[in-house]
Amino acid sequence: MPGKILVTGGAGYIGSHTTLLLLEAGYQVVVVDNLSNSSLESLRRVENLTGKEVVFYKADIREKDKLISIFEEHQIDGVVHFAGLKAVGESTQIPLEYYEQNVYGTVSLLKVMQQFNCLRIVFSSSATVYGDPATVPITEDFPVSATNPYGRSKLYIEEIMRDLAISNDAWNIILLRYFNPIGAHDSGQIGEDPQGIPNNLMPYISQVAVGKRDKLSVFGGDYPTIDGTGVRDYIHVVDLSDAHVKAIQKIESLNGVSTFNLGTGKGYSVLQMVDAFKEGAGKAVPYEIVERRPGDIAECWADASLAEKILGWKASRGLQEMVNDTWRWQSSNPNGYKN
């Protein structure tokens, strides 16, 4: 039976889409976000799209007192935990900030959950925990490793949650390892709104297409892939968000820690993405092949059959839908949520 879900980082890219789907599924949603990488406008639009209210607290997950007062005010049935920092390059420059916000912030949240005997959490992990996989597709039992502080923070959090489940078998913990989320809600009202120069491929391509940037730098043309450029498993953000709703619906029946890959099982190269964008948006995307980006891997895609078997979830949106929805969001909101 639907209840009340706390979504940390709910004003962000994946959090706002998940909040929308949780509301549509009948849950009440309380969002905690410090707005360090998002704007409240995303949640205002979620309210408009659903006709339902989002209870919002501007707070940092490191602020235990604030979390305690939120748990005192609301009977929380489960937590979906997105809040944290996510830029790989930045994490190598300011690692302590990543460990404090991601690792300490999560510990702070877990302590408050424990205090209120709220023992159900769905956590945003990442395919980055597989490092450079020996083969593809990747299953959840592949060895894990990290090459940067961001990835290490995700691995530490996974381990901390495993320790917690050992300490008390009443915990229900779901670790979701995302492959590459792209796309936007098909209304074009909410989407990804990166601050400054985008680090990731899809927001960069769409900013080139909309005329905000001159050309795409393709990082490496000599990988052992179909056309020499990097291959990734891009997944529509609405499919990804839907997996969180399914996880919350199933969490009570999954004791201890469960880990799932969230991807489509298909890989596309950078140049295939450029072509798909040209087709979907009708815009050429000028590009230049440059040096490889340090730390990048050649190819990576998921075996997501465990999520299908256990959660009853499978990605249903294809590449063209991802591109079309990205473009609808980008072209109708060229400056993101500003204006």
| Rounded Cα gap, residues 234 and 273, in angstroms | 10
As a whole number of angstroms, the distance between CA 212 and CA 138 comes to 35
137 binds, among ligand UD1, ligand NAD, none (CB under 5 to 8 A by kind): none
Of residues 13, 27, 150, 268, which has the active-site annotation? 150
Tell me, yes or no, if 178 is annotated catalytic. Answer: no
Question: Quick one: DSSP state of residue 190?
Answer: S
18 binds, among ligand UD1, ligand NAD, none (CB under 5 to 8 A by kind): none
Q: Which is nearer to ligand NAD, 168 or 335 (CB)?
A: 335
Q: Cβ contacts of residue 94 below 8 Å, gap of 6+?
A: none
Query: In the complex with ligand NAD, which residue's Cβ is closer, 108 or 221?
Result: 108
Minimal distance, residue 183 CB to ligand UD1, in Å: 13
Nearer to ligand NAD, 37 or 148 (CB): 37
Which among ligand UD1, ligand NAD, none contacts residue 319 (Cβ within 5 to 8 A by kind)?
none
- Annotate 227-265 with DSSP letters as a single string: SSS-EE-EEEHHHHHHHHHHHHHHGGGS-EEEEEEES-S
DSSP 138: B
C-alpha 46/C-alpha 54 separation (Å) is 8
Are the beta carbons of 130 and 138 closer than 8 angstroms?
Answer: yes
Residues that bind ligand UD1 (CB under 6 A): 88, 126-128, 151, 180, 199-201, 204, 216-219, 230, 232, 270, 293, 295-296
Q: Where along the sequence are the contacts to ligand NAD (CB under 6 A)?
A: 9, 11-15, 33-38, 60-62, 82-86, 101, 105, 124, 126, 178, 181
Structure tokens that stand for 194 in this block = 């990166």
| Cβ-Cβ contacts under 8 Å for 33 (sequence gap 6 or more) | 8, 9, 10, 11, 12, 15, 56, 57, 58, 59, 83
Q: How far is the CB of 140 from ligand UD1 (least distance, A)?
A: 15
Minimum CB–partner distance for residue 151 and ligand NAD (Å) = 10
Length of the chain: 339
State which residue has the least CB distance to ligand UD1.
230
Taking the least distance from each CB to ligand NAD, the nearer of 158 and 221 is 158
State the catalytic residues: 150
